[in-house]
Amino acid sequence: MKLEVVILAAGQGTRMRSALPKVLHPLAGKPLVHHVIDTASALNAAAIHTVIGHGAEQVQKQLQQLPTRWVMQEKQLGTGHAVAQATPAVNDDSIVLVLYGDVPLAQTDTLQKLLSLVNEEQIAVLTVDLPDPTGYGRMLRDDANSIVAIVEQKDANAEQLKIREVNTGILAAPAKLLKQWLPQLSANNAQGEYYLTDIIGLAVSNGIKVAAHQPQSHWEVQGVNNRLQLSELERHFQRSVAEKLMTDGVTLADPARIDVRGTLTTGRDIFIDVNCVFEGNVELGDNVRIGPNCVIKNAKIAANVDIESHSLIDDAIVGVAAHIGPFARLRPGTELAANAKVGNFVETKKTYIGAGSKVNHLTYVGDCTIGVNANIGAGTITCNYDGVNKFKTVIGDGAFIGSNSSLVAPVSIGKNATVGAGSTITGNVGEEQLGVARGKQRNIDGWKRPTKKS
């Protein structure tokens, strides 16, 4: 039977106290509901139906590229009502898996196990035993230990409230049965809502068995209702990423002080110091060393690269044994060849820096190509922008740019050319030439500085 996933994400999330719909709050840099849609995709769902209501427009707009059908639930009349908005489009022959948009960490193997329990005569509920079950629906079992119903906290009696096995909300059932039961739900309960959980009682009275499965860890079914829970899930997630990195051969100065918001691919014998953040797709080669407080986003860093503290790298490619930082900023379109050096307070953008070339201090290079073994002196600026257009600067192999030079683009500096310190270069400098463009020094004898009148 085909699998179709229904994700419930229409609730308001009042306790987040936020203008942002709850399911758009990020965990590891990705909206909560995006995690859930990814999980559904990983299960090879034939269709994913995401039920939205509060902030629907915003959710849909931000996540429009995701492989889901959006279903509107105008009024949040309960979880049963929410599922019923999606089921008309569900194929009768499918199995339906219900997930929550605010429960981001359910694992595919757990859900696969749950789904394996479903057939024409049996539905399955994911349950968990909690030391403190307050707030959750309780699983009612008969003398033979079979599940017979779920009773919500607000509808439960004192005896039922003692039950520690709770409903995670995640369940799976044949679409044909769900479609039979959903119209039979009533809102005749403490919250005046159409409870999805009432299908359990209907199943039992129809002679359909209810199986239960429990996840490996309670984190998998932990929901996000407030920012404290969000931070707990974030830390749990980051801890597991850190453990995986260490298992893969990366040394972390402190596994509690690294955040990965995306995919970090690593070689061996990498060292990462404290407080580094990785975003998007980042690849690190063997023996890369990263100092404290670096932010690295969408970058490919080759083997033996040394990145010193407080460096920012965004959308860049870094060649073997290059040296970056401290306090360097590589902006999008930067490429460093092998052994290139970008030092402190240097900003690069759309720039290629050839093998062995050095841009060591206090420099801006943008829209620039630098050959091999060139030396760019401190305070060099490529003037690449006239307020409207951007222009290119080309610097040849072995060129030497004296300190505090302005290279007014478009301009090219030839192979092995030299630019005198303090020059404002507006015309090309040829191969092996010296370009100097600055006021000539005059020394005036006996110069008297102004004095203050008393």
Give the β-pairing of 393-395 and 276-284: unpaired
Q: How far is the CB of 166 from ligand UD1 (least distance, A)?
A: 5
Residue 344 Cα to chain centre, angstroms: 28
Q: Which is nearer to ligand UD1, 81 or 350 (CB)?
A: 81
Asked if 324 contacts 308 with a C-beta cutoff of 8 angstroms, the reply is: yes
Torsion angle of C-alpha atoms 218, 223, 225, 228, degrees rounded to 10: 40
Q: Which is nearer to ligand UD1, 81 or 297 (CB)?
A: 81
Residue type, 401: I
- The one catalytic residue among 54, 218, 236, 361: 361
Q: How far is the CB of 75 from ligand UD1 (least distance, A)?
A: 8
> How many angstroms separate the first and last alpha carbons of the chain?
99
72: helix, strand or coil: strand
Helix (H) or strand (E) holding 227: helix 227-247
Q: Which is nearer to ligand UD1, 134 or 389 (CB)?
A: 134
Query: Is there a catalytic annotation at residue 361?
Result: yes
Q: How far is the CB of 386 from ligand UD1 (least distance, A)?
A: 52
d(CA 293, CA 272): 10
Closest by CA to 107, choosing from 244, 237, 10, is 237
Residues contributing to the site for ligand UD1 (CB under 6 A): 8-11, 51, 73, 76-79, 81-82, 100-102, 136-137, 150, 152, 166-169, 195-197, 223
Assigned token pair, 397: 């192999």
Distances 359 to 126, 261, 291, 344, 367 between C-alpha atoms, Å: 58, 30, 19, 9, 15
Helix (H) or strand (E) holding 281: strand 276-284
Closest by CA to 39, choosing from 156, 140, 126, is 126
Q: Which is nearer to ligand UD1, 148 or 277 (CB)?
A: 148
Assigned token pair, 388: 């409207």
Assigned token pair, 420: 């005198």
Give the β-pairing of 406-408 and 381-383: parallel
Residue type, 353: I
Q: Which is nearer to ligand UD1, 74 or 445 (CB)?
A: 74
Q: Which is nearer to ligand UD1, 77 or 276 (CB)?
A: 77
- Residue 265 CB burial class (10 angstroms; 0-12, 13-18, ≥19): exposed
Q: Which is nearer to ligand UD1, 51 or 321 (CB)?
A: 51
Closest by CA to 136, choosing from 116, 120, 115, 160, is 160
Assigned token pair, 279: 């975003």
Q: How far is the CB of 329 from ligand UD1 (least distance, A)?
A: 40
Q: How far is the CB of 174 from ligand UD1 (least distance, A)?
A: 19
Q: Which is nearer to ligand UD1, 4 or 102 (CB)?
A: 102
Looking at residue 408, the DSSP 8-state letter turns out to be: E
Residues catalogued as catalytic: 361
